[in-house]
Amino acid sequence: MVPPTEARVREPGRGAPGPGRPPRAGGPGAWFLVLPALIPILVLSVGPLLYGVSLAFTDAQSGRTEPTQWIGGLNFQDLLHDTLFWESFRIGLVWAVGVTVPQFLLALGLALLLDQELRLRWLARALAIIPWAMPEVVVGIMWRLVYNPDAGILNETLRDLGLGDGRDWLSGLATALPAVIVVGVWAGLPQTTVALLAGLQNTPRELHEAAAVDGAGAWRRFRTVTWPALRPVALSITALNLIWNFNSFALVYVLTGGGPGGRTRLPMLFAYEEAFRYGQFGYAAAMGCVMVAVISVLLAVFLAGRLRGGEDA
């Protein structure tokens, strides 16, 4: 489960009430307010992160008696030749893009529908809670039941429709990755929808009506009025979805465990096994560093796009 998109989509430093900018912090009183949060952040987040990066340059292993040694870039050299890791990386990118893009399109469609005066909107709202609030482990278990070759509803429906006997979706070499991608899309749909809906309600309604009066068709209205207003939100939520999906773990761990034959082994699963099954802390940390590098590139693209979107608006 992930926190609400509100928190993430919104930019800090904007929207402060009242004229002028906030004043500078003054006096020791501010420190007193800040320290309770600052200490855990430094000790349990910033510190471990730096420690983790430094581990990537060591031969750290679990349960070893001899002292850990600096080995420079050796882990990264090994990684370069680790075809299994790059395969996992490729799968991770396919998964992240394969989930994020349909998620965005489906969410956009749902958000546009919910922005209309339709009945049953309340039901959609209520149902959207389910994927959003559910533990990822339960989402995985639930879809295992759907995909179950014998007792699952998917194969039964296919049989009823006369579309063959169905198959074992999660252990088929060809079907496993698409099957988990569908689950990923389902799980993230509500947050993306709510974020986009917020953006939609931000579009100037008068402009929309004026365009309609001028005879602009639905598509044209969407392109010239809705999309420019929606763009910043769409961009942020998509970039964040990409990052979250690339770092995803629990869903696929429960659904397939990375199988069959590594076809769904996302980078996080690979690194987890390396660290906590084989005890290769240093090597796994190096994998984490490579993942951070890729994510940073994604973030840079996102921020650059975001700035451009701001100029247009």
Q: Confirm or reject binding of residue 91 to another protein (CB under 8 A).
A: no
Q: Confirm or reject binding of residue 85 to another protein (CB under 8 A).
A: no
Q: Confirm or reject binding of residue 240 to another protein (CB under 8 A).
A: yes
Q: Confirm or reject binding of residue 138 to another protein (CB under 8 A).
A: yes
Which of helix, strand or coil describes residue 25? coil
Alpha carbons 120 and 105: distance in angstroms, whole number: 21
DSSP string, 73-88: THHHHHHHT-HHHHHH
Give the tokens for residue 192.
């993306």
Which residues from 97-116 bind another protein, rule CB under 8 A? Answer: 106, 109-110, 113, 116
Q: CB of 118: closest distance to another protein in angstroms?
A: 6
Kindly tell me the sign of the dihedral angle through the C-alpha atoms of 126, 132, 136, 142: positive
Using CB under 8 A, pick the residue from 71, 134, 158, 207 that binds another protein: 134
Using CB under 8 A, pick the residue from 89, 95, 104, 143 that binds another protein: 143
Q: CB of 162: closest distance to another protein in angstroms?
A: 14
Which residues from 243-282 bind another protein, rule CB under 8 A? Answer: 243-244, 247, 249-250, 253-254, 267-268, 271-272, 275-276, 281
- Provide the mask over 180-219, with x wherever binding to another protein is found by CB under 8 A and - wherever it is not: ------x--xx---xx-xxx-xx-----xx--x-------
CA angle 99, 262, 102 (to 5 degrees): 10
Instruction: Report whether 271 contacts 288 (CB < 8 A).
Output: yes
Is omega for the bond preceding 260 within 30 degrees of 0, making it cis? yes
